[in-house]
Structure 1
Amino acid sequence: MLHNNRATAMRKLPLAITLGLASLASQQAFAHGYIESPKSRAFMCSANGGNLNRDCGPVTYEPQSVEYSPSVQHHYPKDYCSGDFTKCGPANGTIPAGGITSFSQLNEQTATRWQKTTIKPGMNEFTWYYSAGHASAYYQFYITKKDWNPNQPLTRDSFEMTPLLDEKANGARPPAGGRTKHKVNIPADRSGYHVILATWKIADTAATFYQAIDVNIDNDGAPIPDWKILGAVQPEQLRVGDKVSTRVFTNAGEQPNRQTRLSIETTEQAQANTWPYLLAQQVNKANAGYVMGELNANNEVVPNYGKNTMYAKNNSDVVRVEIQKEQPSIPGELKLSGLQAEYTLKDNATDLHFNAIAQGGKYTIASTVFNGKGESIAHQQAEAGNNTPHFSIALRNVSEGDYDVVVVAKPEKGEQLQQSQRITLKAEEVGGGDYDFVFPKGLTGYKAGTKVLAKDGNVYECKPFPYSGYCIQWNAGATQYEPGVGSNWKDAWIRK
């Protein structure tokens, strides 16, 4: 049924519901899957993956979002095409990030940059986890060549072009929160550090999901010592005067006599990648029951500039090592970013997305919105200890006027910090036009040619196949294909 009545359109406009992830506004789309086991490079960047990889950028908050599609910035060989990894996909040098510029930290490639999972040659089980399900076309797994250089960006020349596994899915749709398991045969002639590339091709959209998995292949021909991993020392910038200590624990408790202590005395020592190397040197001289560094080609643990993994032999009595930092107090400071001066109301509703950044201690940060009468109309509190929270605040049933956003950071001890910013809410009239639905009503029935009235007041038509599959990819927490406003709406819609 077609509608032309502007008043009807105003009454039927849906509320803007955006339950955003804790991520920067510049991130790509919310997306749908990652390799959970063995943990992929992107998954190890996230909290659920143990934060074993650090300094990963926005993918930290959405490891499931490494989605190659026509809208990404880097294509192979030149433009988007729908073939498999051997013919199409992310440009060379951008493969781990799926060609997405904002995930470019994933493309860094050295022998020691990424945490590795030890596996054996032969049949191994890899698990895809799905935060949102799609009709699936196929799964493919590739491995780096025997002579690949781990200190160069990953290209197609780094990989064998015959996949280890080419498994057809025939349109099967895994459920959100579900998993699929895949048997992958790791060649017997591989040992040491290799990268496994897993791809998941979608049947009803133009997307393919990419996951790089960093593995250490324990081959009987080149045995790797039986190490247990106790954790890792991650690089971060320190200051002159800071001190870093290790706390070593056995089943009998802490062993103070095995402590290693490093004092930062120069600006060079304070550099993010330097002090972990110096600490590892001291630890390895101390004979404290564990060592610190990264495994080299001779299966030796040596200090590394950057991340250093803590290893102990299986017969060691060390069960845990903690890193403790003593740092002179930093003056408290609170900043806000991402708040706009003006917001446009749609059906008396809008959403605020912004970040708070606090330093000088551990804080509990909360945000409250006040109207012109001094009444609090919305409130959100971040998890205690999160000094860089992202706030996503839905304002509903509000009117035009000035509002104050007040952010307070309460420390464990000391003075609390506060920042306030005034914003203005303005109404916007909605234009007319012929359409089939007011988005997102009738979502599951959208197909090529379907016209919808979006909340920006414009009418959009669903693109032909294969792009039409994107038109139905929407929910309150994944709005990238929402017509007119989603980050990737042009993949799915034509504005009329």
Structure 2
Amino acid sequence: MIRNKQSRLFRKLPLVAAIGMASLASLAVQQASAHGYIESPKSRAYMCRTNVNDDCGNVTYEPQSVEYTITGRTNYQGIACKEDFTKCGPADGNIASGGMIDQFSEMDIQTATRWAKNDIKPGLNTFTWHYKAKHPIAYQEFYITKKDWNPNEKLTRESFDLVPLLHKDMGNQMAEERNSHDVMIPADHTGYHVVLATWRVGDTDATFYQVIDVNIDGDEVAPSPWNNLGVVQPQALEIGDKVIARLFNAAGEMEDKNISLTIASDEQAKANIWPHALAEKVNAANVGVVMGELNTDGDIVPNFGKNSVFVKKGSDILSFQLEKQLVNQPIELNITGMQPSYTLKDGAVDLHFNAIAKGSDFTIKATVFNAKQESVAHKQAAAGDNTPHFSLSLKDIEAGKFDLVVEAAPKKGATKQETVSFTVQADSDGSYDFVFPEVLKEYKAGTTVLQPKDGNTYECKIFPYSGYCSQWGANATGFEPGVGSNWQDAWIRK
């Protein structure tokens, strides 16, 4: 079925962005796919973005992108459908990641102490979605874990009451920057629970998933005497590394109250061991803070893994920082936002991407090279900006293969480099039906598709080979045109 050029191009842009998100193996999550998160109470993903939760992986940079679609995700009971959470959606155990285990698997870790919690009361609580891209809203739902759920097991449908706390039909109204719902938290739920918020998009197959970790302070529970200043997250260290708990009041750092721990053995260097040892040392010092996690009796005890930092309400200690002095400071550089393919418009292409460097203060620069190994664009970020956003315009270029080279130079030591290859294709003349893998179920003999990974067009072979053309998934790419190991069984390159 030949579609008019305008409708093809309209569909093409978001799809290419989605393919780009799936194809980059590190932190390359597409900005074009960014949509929304629960801002208040802060969702697990948003707490990662605001550094309340740590060691969260890619979601730290894309809390708005936890998106379940019917393809390329883990599916509940192996069924890919568009119904609500109770019938399908991400597989049990992958609910917090929205089934995006390649990008956001860290979100699925579940223990009683792993994630920071929002203190809320039973009764009406306002939950606010913050949108980073506008889409029509079909409906939004909120679920809560059962009274007897096990917080040390991964989230499954068995973990939740499957009658939603709220189902709100939105009539496909276009999302603005934010919208809020009053959600009734049951009075018989107290302590640690997880609220699941889902947003069914009106014009795609997507549903956005956000889990919110809450501590429900019931009327029968005495008000907490503690303020939480922050958390110490587990991270593997090395012998000789030093961690320092630094405390601050209104006048600044209280250096006489700082507590340090130098890693003395391989055992102590383990990710879940040294935070426990530091908590014991801080508590023994009696400097006005207590490290650990609250148990069911309301006592704060050192924890193997994440430890929170508490002060009594009314304390003059206002904030906490954990300083890490590492013997071998690792250097990381990741590029997000790049697509595998772009289309020329009036002889030009605009690139928008982020560079994310860790381990030092860097000067980061980006250069684009064409197939002739000529540099065609260059930009340098301000010194010390470790997370710059780059906008590069490639002008008067021809279609072909390009390399983006990003370099992060520290004040001392070796420069870190990352290279991302991409293709630029000529503006389409309308000679294909779909951008692969759009609308797989419509592929039949004679269907033509554009493969954005190489810029080529492919035609589906005649029966009986045409049945292979629609056989594709994130983990089943054998017949993907031009890419899969057996693509020539299904396709003809045009």
TM-score, normalization: structure 1? 0.74
Does the aligned pair in 1 maintain the 2:367–2:378 contact within 8 Å?
A: yes
| Residue matched to 1:152 | 153
Indicate whether 1:60 and 2:42 are aligned: no
Which ranges in structure 1 are unaligned for 5 or more consecutive residues?
6-12, 439-447, 461-483, 486-494
Output the CA distance in 1 between the equivalents of 2:213 and 2:432.
49
- For 1:170, give the aligned amino acid: G
| Residue matched to 2:281 | 282
> How far is 1:141 from its partner?
0.8
| Residue matched to 1:77 | 77
For residues 133 and 329 of structure 1, do their structure 2 counterparts lie closer, same or farther at Cα, with a shift above 3 Å needed? closer
> How far is 1:373 from its partner?
9.8
> How far is 1:118 from its partner?
0.5
| Residue matched to 1:417 | 415
Once the two structures are superposed, the pairs formed by residues 76-95 of structure 1 within 5 Å of their partners are 76-95=76-95
Does the aligned pair in 1 maintain the 2:229–2:311 contact within 8 Å?
A: yes
Indicate whether 1:133 and 2:134 are aligned: yes
For residues 242 and 428 of structure 1, do their structure 2 counterparts lie closer, same or farther at Cα, with a shift above 3 Å needed? closer
For residues 206 and 254 of structure 1, do their structure 2 counterparts lie closer, same or farther at Cα, with a shift above 3 Å needed? closer
Indicate whether 1:37 and 2:40 are aligned: yes
Q: Which moved more, 1:429-438 or 1:356-365?
A: 429-438
Output the CA distance in 2 between the equivalents of 1:421 and 1:60.
22
Output the CA distance in 2 between the equivalents of 1:274 and 1:354.
38
| Residue matched to 1:239 | 238
Does the aligned pair in 1 maintain the 2:343–2:427 contact within 8 Å?
A: no
Output the CA distance in 2 between the equivalents of 1:4 and 1:130.
31
- For 2:127, give the aligned amino acid: F
| Residue matched to 2:487 | none
Secondary structure in structure 1 of the residue aligned to 2:278: helix
- For 1:248, give the aligned amino acid: L
Does the aligned pair in 2 maintain the 1:18–1:392 contact within 8 Å?
A: no
Number of residues paired by the alignment?
Answer: 439
Summarize deviations over 1:465-485 as a string: whole Å, max 9, x none: xxxxxxxxxxxxxxxxxxx99
For residues 396 and 459 of structure 1, do their structure 2 counterparts lie closer, same or farther at Cα, with a shift above 3 Å needed? farther
Output the CA distance in 1 between the equivalents of 2:404 and 2:375.
10
- For 1:173, give the aligned amino acid: M
Output the CA distance in 1 between the equivalents of 2:343 and 2:124.
56
Output the CA distance in 2 between the equivalents of 1:271 and 1:162.
42
For residues 275 and 199 of structure 1, do their structure 2 counterparts lie closer, same or farther at Cα, with a shift above 3 Å needed? same
Does the aligned pair in 1 maintain the 2:110–2:154 contact within 8 Å?
A: yes
Output the CA distance in 2 between the equivalents of 1:287 and 1:88.
51
Summarize deviations over 1:441-482 as a string: whole Å, max 9, x none: xxxxxxx99x9989735499xxxxxxxxxxxxxxxxxxxxxx
For residues 198 and 427 of structure 1, do their structure 2 counterparts lie closer, same or farther at Cα, with a shift above 3 Å needed? closer
Does the aligned pair in 2 maintain the 1:36–1:43 contact within 8 Å?
A: yes
> How far is 1:167 from its partner?
1.4
Output the CA distance in 2 between the equivalents of 1:385 and 1:379.
18
For residues 383 and 194 of structure 1, do their structure 2 counterparts lie closer, same or farther at Cα, with a shift above 3 Å needed? farther
- For 2:306, give the aligned amino acid: K
TM-score, normalization: structure 2? 0.74
For residues 386 and 295 of structure 1, do their structure 2 counterparts lie closer, same or farther at Cα, with a shift above 3 Å needed? farther
> How far is 1:208 from its partner?
1.6
Secondary structure in structure 1 of the residue aligned to 2:33: coil
Does the aligned pair in 2 maintain the 1:251–1:317 contact within 8 Å?
A: yes
Summarize deviations over 1:153-208 as a string: whole Å, max 9, x none: 11111111111111121222112xx1111001111111110000111122332222
Secondary structure in structure 1 of the residue aligned to 2:172: coil
For residues 78 and 419 of structure 1, do their structure 2 counterparts lie closer, same or farther at Cα, with a shift above 3 Å needed? closer
Does the aligned pair in 1 maintain the 2:357–2:386 contact within 8 Å?
A: yes
Output the CA distance in 2 between the equivalents of 1:98 and 1:422.
27
For residues 349 and 149 of structure 1, do their structure 2 counterparts lie closer, same or farther at Cα, with a shift above 3 Å needed? same
Aligned sequence identity (%):
49
| Residue matched to 1:314 | 313
| Residue matched to 1:114 | 115
- For 1:114, give the aligned amino acid: W
Does the aligned pair in 1 maintain the 2:140–2:169 contact within 8 Å?
A: yes
Output the CA distance in 2 between the equivalents of 1:152 and 1:418.
39
Q: Which moved more, 1:305-314 or 1:103-112?
A: 305-314
Does the aligned pair in 1 maintain the 2:333–2:418 contact within 8 Å?
A: no
Does the aligned pair in 2 maintain the 1:136–1:169 contact within 8 Å?
A: yes
Output the CA distance in 2 between the equivalents of 1:230 and 1:345.
49
For residues 155 and 427 of structure 1, do their structure 2 counterparts lie closer, same or farther at Cα, with a shift above 3 Å needed? closer
Q: Which moved more, 1:287-296 or 1:365-374?
A: 365-374
> How far is 1:108 from its partner?
0.8
| Residue matched to 2:192 | 193
Secondary structure in structure 2 of the residue aligned to 1:269: coil
